[in-house]
Amino acid sequence: MNIKNVPVNTPLLDGNELIYLTECIKTGWISSEGPFIKKFEDEMASYVNRKYAIAVSNGSAALDIAIRALDLELGSEVIMPTFTIISPAQSLINSGLVPVLVDCEEDTWNMNTNLIEQKITKKTKAILVVHIYGLPVDMKAILNLCKKYNLKLIEDAAEMHGQKYDDAQCGSFGDISIFSFYPNKHITSGEGGMIMCDDLLLAERSRKLRNLAFEPNGRRFVHEEIGWNYRMTNMQAAIGLAQLEKINEHLIKKRRVGEKYFKELNDLVGFNLQKHKTKNSTNIYWVFGLVAESEKLANDMVNFLTKNKIGTRPFFWCMHEQPVFLKMGLFRNEKYPIAEKIARCGFYIPSGLGLSENEVDYVITKMKEFVR
Ligand SMILES: Cc1ncc(COP(=O)(O)O)c(C=O)c1O
């Protein structure tokens, strides 16, 4: 096989991206005031089945706004997984809230919902779920807990475009939910994010926070509170809209690659995969990850793949082991054994939409060669 190198991600931009972008340039609408913003928001809202969508500059910005918009009392506790990207924890802390961590499940790598109730105290005001790598969190269990303890639900569906839990789209569950459109996602806008909700007041507040908290009806440049400039540009929305038009094709392609990897690598000695299916969902394989039985095995495999010009990325690093949080006095002496193991021994292989069949075959062949 004549393969030069296989990057861990390449986006696929083969729809109307160039036509829409050209329109931005020709009309001069390049800021956040242009018409593609509303179109992208409306189409996303309709796709995810939500009343409101607010486009922002990236997924982390969406989390900042979503969390602030809920106006939880300072010092409130919010339960979230330890195994995730830093963005949700960072947003909570920046808003004066306290992240309370939970370990994950060995087979889905998602937050273990059986471990949540023991973490609920009088200060708990919300659960922040993060759907990990392609499989949704067990939402029935989460919704029951939110109802029982009167908790708000923040849903980080950054990696989950088009994934469903039973018949409902991920991103449709949270009181407030978010997506990211970074180029490794099922649909991209270069950089980008979206906040989704059904509550008019939350939507209005999110819009305000995204735009320096300008008062929508007050005198311009007079502010009652502070927010951010987290606006998305018309050019980003143009790309995002073109991508959304092709989401079904993207999902089919991602699933095809994921299923092939799953079939071929499921028996790879020394490595475990994320489940292909749960009773509520089938994996959409945002990324295709493997967890080695030991850290050494993971490192050896990654080095072997690197030598063969195959890109990999390590898994997320747990929140309770982040130097920055330990320095802040958070999570000291907390232990979450499953997340720790997954973080140390997990990595993902090329999973982007631009991957060719030949490249997938090459990755599989090399991984099998390593094990032999
Ligand atoms: C679960 C999760 N949340 C939030 C983010 C942050 O999104 P962004 O990179 O657009 O800021 C990511 C990024 O991949 C993510 O995976």
pLDDT tops 80 at residue 3 = no
Q: What is the pLDDT of residue 110?
A: 98
Ligand 1, atom nearest to 63 Cα: 4
- Substitution candidate for ligand 1 out of 60, 110, 313 with most atoms within 8 A of CB: 60
Q: Closest residue (by CA) to atom 15 of ligand 1?
A: 158
pLDDT (tens digit, 9 = 90+) per residue, 183-232? Answer: 999 999 999 999 999 999 999 999 999 999 999 899 999 999 999 999 99
pLDDT tops 80 at residue 34 = yes
Q: Look at the pTM and tell me if it is higher than 0.95.
A: yes
Ligand 1, atom nearest to 286 Cα: 16
Strand-pair category, 77-81 with 98-102: parallel
Could you tell me the distance, in angstroms and rounded to a whole number, from the CA of residue 125 to the centre of ligand 1? 23
Q: Please compute the mean of the pLDDT values over residues 5-16 and round it to a whole number.
A: 95
For residue 318, give both structure tokens: 């747990």
Ligand 1, atom nearest to 60 Cα: 11
Q: What is the mean pLDDT of the chain?
A: 97
Q: What is the 3-state secondary structure (H, E, C) of the chain?
A: CCCCCECCCCCCCCCCHHHHHHHHHHHCCCCCCCHHHHHHHHHHHHHHCCCEEEEECCHHHHHHHHHHHCCCCCCCEEEEECCCCCHHHHHHHHCCCEEEEECECCCCCCECHHHCHHHCCCCEEEEEEECECCECCCHHHHHHHHHHHCCEEEEECCCCCCCEECCEECCCCCCEEEEECCCCCCCCCCCCEEEEECCHHHHHHHHHHHECCCCCCCCCCCCCCCCCECECCHHHHHHHHHHHCCHHHHHHHHHHHHHHHHHHHCCCCCEEECCCECCCCECCCCCEEEEECCHHHHHHHHHHHHHCCECCEECCCCHHHCHHHHHCCCCCCCCCHHHHHHHHHEEEECCCCCCCHHHHHHHHHHHHHHHC
For residue 75, give both structure tokens: 């010092």
- Substitution candidate for ligand 1 out of 83, 87, 161 with most atoms within 8 A of CB: 87
Residues 6+ apart with CB under 8 A from 159: 131, 132, 133, 134, 180, 185, 286, 287
Q: Please compute the mean of the pLDDT values over residues 333-341 and round it to a whole number.
A: 98
pLDDT (tens digit, 9 = 90+) per residue, 292-336? Answer: 999 999 999 999 999 999 999 999 999 999 999 999 999 999 999
Q: What is the pLDDT of residue 372?
A: 87
Ligand 1, atom nearest to 191 Cα: 10
State percent of the chain over pLDDT 90. Answer: 98
Q: Closest residue (by CA) to atom 12 of ligand 1?
A: 158
Q: Please compute the mean of the pLDDT values over residues 19-47 and round it to a whole number.
A: 98
What are the two backbone dihedrals, phi and then psi, of residue 58, each rounded to the nearest 5 degrees?
Answer: -170, 175
Ligand 1, atom nearest to 192 Cα: 10
Q: What is the pLDDT of residue 341?
A: 98
Identity at 78, one-letter amino acid code: V
pLDDT (tens digit, 9 = 90+) per residue, 43-76? Answer: 999 999 999 999 999 999 999 999 999 999 999 9
Could you tell me the distance, in angstroms and rounded to a whole number, from the CA of residue 217 to the centre of ligand 1? 32
Could you tell me the distance, in angstroms and rounded to a whole number, from the CA of residue 21 to the centre of ligand 1? 24
Q: What is the pLDDT of residue 4?
A: 81
Strand-pair category, 193-197 with 52-56: antiparallel
Residues 319, 310: Cα–Cα separation, whole Å: 28
**Band of residue 1 on the pLDDT scale cut at 50, 70, 90:** low
Pocket of ligand 1 (CB under 6 A): 58-60, 84-85, 87, 130, 156, 158-159, 180, 182, 193
Ligand 1, atom nearest to 131 Cα: 1
Could you tell me the distance, in angstroms and rounded to a whole number, from the CA of residue 180 to the centre of ligand 1? 6
